Amino acid sequence: MDRRDAFRVGYYTKVAELGHTPATFRKLAEGGIAAEALRGVKSLGSYGLLLGLGVPMLGGIYTGKVHSMMNDVTPTDVEAMKRNELISEYKRQAKRITQRSEQRNWRKLFKRKQEAQKEEDLYA
């Protein structure tokens, strides 16, 4: 069985599971499933069509509004973010100053050791 035959078997099995007969299957094949769904909406009348189109649209609008309200940034959030950024910058600068101070002290200590070594070499 090649891919085409496997597709046909699967498709026909699904059509049979949905309860379609060969006649309804032919109608579905000609008009498509979307046409059958649209016929079902038309049977409800114009109110059904408006309801079918309006409810998802209103649901999307409401969901978007709630999402934007949940993710809205308040002025207190902005102030907290500024404060945290300022604190992290101060910490970074303090760490940098400490490192530079240690580097300078290390150089002075190293120079003293070299001078002491030179003095020992002179008196030895």
Number of domain units in the chain: 1
Backbone angles phi, psi at 73, to 5 degrees: -95, 125
Mean pLDDT estimate for the chain = 76
Residues 27-46: tens digit of each pLDDT:
666 665 555 555 655 555 66
Range of the domain at 96: 73-124
Q: What is the largest CA-CA distance in the chain?
A: 117
User: What DSSP designation does 19 have?
Assistant: T
Query: What are the phi and psi torsion angles at 41 (to 5°)?
Result: -70, -40
Q: Is residue 49 assigned to a domain?
A: no
Q: Is residue 22 part of a domain?
A: no
Closest CA relative to residue 28, chosen from 41, 4, 11: 11
Above 90 in pLDDT, residue 12? no
Give a yes or no: residue 114 inside a domain: yes
CA distance 60 to 68: 12
